[in-house]
Structure formats: structure tokens, C-alpha cells
Structure 1
Amino acid sequence: MPSFTVTGEIDPFLHVSLRQKEKIFCESGAMVMMEAPLQVKGQLRGGLGRALMRRLATDESLFQQEIEAVGGDGDCLLSPTLPGSIELLDVSPGESYTLSDGSFLAAESGVEVRARMNTLGGGLFGGTGGFVIMEATGQGKLAISGFGSIFTIDVTPDRETVIDNNHAVAWSSNLQFEVGMPQTGGGFFGNVVNSVTSGEGLVIRFRGQGKVVICSRNREIFRGPGQ
């Protein structure tokens, strides 16, 4: 199977080693370098319908890159769009992950990154992808990226975990999540006022047993108004 390694401390690369006939797929434009035995091409992965669903869920192209070791073994280097860390996750039939906008970087061919309908609350609010969100299922390695540094939180059933909406990168799909305003103890109107005046905006509340991957930077603040 392909070997995934994160290389570098600041704005790292994803280093992938492939044996002949092995293949991976990655976000459009992620390939930085590849050796001669490898071949890259654009794919409507999952067909036009699923590609359109992915397009609704993210700002990515309809096409994803497929890199295959056609002429022998070879290595490639991939890089995410925004500066920041890369995290490797193990996807299995018992462990799938929901991905926030722009967090997908690459995966083994045994992983399927598909669109599914979001919860009503998640669809109406925030950066979780609107009414259509991405989920990684199947079996294999998944590489995700976050703006800034990345940290993984273990959520347990005895404690609700609250994450700022713009800092959530990915989470275990079995977790229950709800998008809303931070609780301030002042009722609905007080929560709205405090959310605006504190600059915190929306949050995601996670319950259950699983992982949440967060990043240190907020890309919406970085982009600024109107960008």
C-alpha cells in the first residue's frame, strides 16, 4: 500500500511513496513534485453526480487529481492550498470522518470521500459545508490539512466539547454535533449580543465518543471582509 509521511516542521509536505500500479487521489492542484514513473490525471471521481455534490459541499474543482505509479515505483510531494499542518487519519469501516470545507488533501484509493446531507442546524449555519458535507469512508490513510497548527481532541460521553466553527477541521462521523451560538447564560437574545460583541461567532457542540481535529488559525478572519 502507499506510504504517507508528513515531511517538514513548518508548512510541511505530504510525502507519498507508491509501488507500481498503486494509486492515490488528492485535491486539485495539490501535486508539487513527482518522479518520472508516476502519472497524474484529473478524474471525476465517483462520476458526474458525486462530483457535483462535492462541488456543492466545498470550493474545490469538480475534478480531483489521481496519481498512479504506471512505470514503476516512485515518490511524490503534495501540499495543501493554505499554509498549515497536515494530519494523517486511519479510515476504516468502523471509523469514518466528516470533513470541513477545504480540509481534504489526499487519500489512498480504498478511501471514498463522498458528499452526504448535513443536519438542518449545520446546513443553516457556519462553515461545515452548508446542507451538503463531505465524509471519508472505506479503508485506508486519509491526509487532511488545517490552517496553522493542528491538534486532536478526544471527545468522551461524559463531557460536551465546544469548538469554534472556523477551527474545526474534521471529526469522527459517529459524534453528534450541533451548530449554534456560544452559551453565555443570558438567554437567546443575550447569546446573540454576546456572540457579536465577543467576536466568537458560531460554535459546534460535540457529544459522544470520538475525535475532533482542530486548527489554530481562522481562515475567515485571515481573508478579511469581502474576500
Structure 2
Amino acid sequence: MSFTVYNFTNNDDVKILHQMGQFQVLQWDRDLSLAPWTAQQAWFASQMDVRRRQLIANLDGRTGVTLQAGAMQWTAGQIQATTGVKGAGDLLGKMVRGAVSQDSMIKPEYTGVGMLVCEPTWQHLLLVDVAQWGGSIVLNDGLFLACDSTLQHALERRSNLSSAVAGNEGLFNLRLNGQGTLVLESPCPQTEVLYIDLQNDEVKIDGNYALAWTAGLQFSVERSGKSLIGSAMGGEGLVNVYRGTGRIMMAPMQAATSYNTLASQPTS
């Protein structure tokens, strides 16, 4: 069996921005499905490269794809979707991860041969080779979109739980282990992402600007000063602290969990 898709990736209004493994990032340079009263807004948005993007996965029958729940738009070919649950123990683990993080409890897995296309998004799609992060990477909440099903999902606990509560932060983050490609929904494009490499040192960030970091780093929420009075006088309060040896991926402008105004708008 075979299929042919016309006027999609070879459409004059789109282009492929990035490709890694079985994933492609497609960008709509022009959106002609507009009403007269939204055309002006769309034109000005396009001047700042605010465009809709879609993730495409070309499955070859060997490696499946794990998606955030609700991310699939359409598939073509012999592709099957499963819950990805491999038993009672695995279900319990997924329930725990869903309860303590902002990621969905069940992430469907797609296998087979064909094309899988995700819903359009205004956010930027970053392709990450987990092997280049030492085979283990920790994500800020709400950034996971998709990955090769060869990657294992786990939880990473904050170094100090009490300060995480005080800073109104979650106690756990999603960690991906293994070899494969990871796709993030990012508030900033790849060209603006900052990378900080640490060698037995530390980084303090006032806000959720870190997108991802090496699993070996110790992550905690602490007072910016040595005392509550000092923190208040400094005007910073609590900061996210990363210590040890590893790498941090950071958004320079938009906080990782506050890309809300345009990203929350309907895509059609």
C-alpha cells in the first residue's frame, strides 16, 4: 500500500525549517485562510516572523513517536496509535508523572509506516538530539511536544522541596533518558536560544527562562540573598539555581511558561 500527499510540503506558502531523524518542522510563510478583518494583523505578525508551524514525523516502521496528548492533526499510511502503557506498573508511573507535573498523564505512541502531522502552533519547534546531552535531559513544564519512542520518560525531583513550594514552582520535572530526538514547543526560535555550559559552577535565573538542562545538574529554588531581608532589599526574592557540571538551554526574552497571548489564539 502507498499514498501520495500533494500541495503540502511542496506548497509555495510553506518551507521546511529543520529536520532531524524522522522529524521535520514545517513553517507556513503565508496564511491565505484569512478574513478581511484579520489580514492586517496577520501581515504585521509575519513581519516579526510570527508564523504557524507544524511538526511532521515520517515513520519508517522501526521507530515509533510519542506525542503530547491532543497534538496529532492527521496521519496517512499504516499508522496505529496506542496509549503507550506497557502494564500496570507503567500505568501507575504515568499517573504519578501526570499528577506532579504539567505534562499529560498518557502520551499516545504512534507506530507503523506513514506520515504523522501535528496541530499547527504559533510557538517555535526545537529539535534536540538527547545523545548530545549525555543521554538524559530535564525539561521545564509544558515544553514537551514529541519524541522518538526509544526515549524513556521519568521524573526529576528538585534538590530542595521546601523552597520549590515557597517559590510556587512544581516539585518535579519531566526527564527524558536514552538515544533519540526530542521536540520542544519553545517561546523563542533556535537562533535566539542561549546555551550555558557549567564546570562545577552555578547559574541563578530569576524566572522560568530555562527550557531544559542536563540531568546531572542540581536544580533548586533559593533566596537571591543570604537572608529574607537581603532578598527583599535586592528586589529579586527567589531565584532558580542550577549547580554542577552540565548545560542549560535558556530563552533570553520570554519565560518558558508565559508565552501566552498569541500562542493561546486559535490556529484556524
Shorter-chain TM band:
0.7 to 0.9
Matched pairs, number: 212
Structure 2, unmatched stretches of 5+, are: 1-19, 28-48, 262-268
Instruction: From the superposition, tell whether residues 206 and 119 of structure 1 become closer, same or farther in structure 2 (CA, over 3 Å).
Output: closer
Structure 2 residue 250 is the aligned partner of structure 1 residue 214? yes
Structure 2 residue 46 is the aligned partner of structure 1 residue 3? no
Q: Is the 8 A contact 2:103 2:144 kept in 1?
A: no
Q: What is the CA deviation profile of residues 65-99 of structure 1, one whole-angstrom value per residue up to 9, with x for unaligned ones?
A: 11111xxx31222258x742222222249331111
After superposition, where does 1:73-222 map in structure 2 within 5 Å?
Answer: 73-79=113-119, 83-92=122-131, 94-121=134-161, 123-126=164-167, 129-130=170-171, 132-149=172-189, 151-157=193-199, 160-183=202-225, 187-195=227-235, 202-215=238-251, 216-218=253-255, 219-220=257-258, 222=260
CA distance in 1 between counterparts of 2:149 and 2:259 reads 34
- Residue 208 of structure 2: SS of its match in structure 1? helix
**Quick check: 170-179 or 201-210, which moved more?**
201-210
Residue 64 of structure 1: aligned partner: 107
User: How much does 1:2 deviate?
Assistant: 5.2
CA distance in 1 between counterparts of 2:81 and 2:168 reads 30
Q: What is the CA deviation profile of residues 112-168 of structure 1, one whole-angstrom value per residue up to 9, with x for unaligned ones?
A: 1112433224642446532x3221111211112223445141222275322233222
Q: Which amino acid aligns with 1:162?
A: K
CA distance in 1 between counterparts of 2:64 and 2:90 reads 18
Q: What is the CA deviation profile of residues 184-210 of structure 1, one whole-angstrom value per residue up to 9, with x for unaligned ones?
A: xx8531313544xxxx56422223332
Structure 2 residue 73 is the aligned partner of structure 1 residue 32? yes
Normalised TM-score (structure 2): 0.67
CA distance in 2 between counterparts of 1:97 and 1:128 reads 19
Which structure carries more relative contact order (alpha carbon 8 Å, separation 6+)? Answer: 1
Instruction: Provide the identity percentage.
Output: 25
Q: Is the 8 A contact 1:162 1:206 kept in 2?
A: yes
Larger radius of gyration between Structure 1 and Structure 2: 2
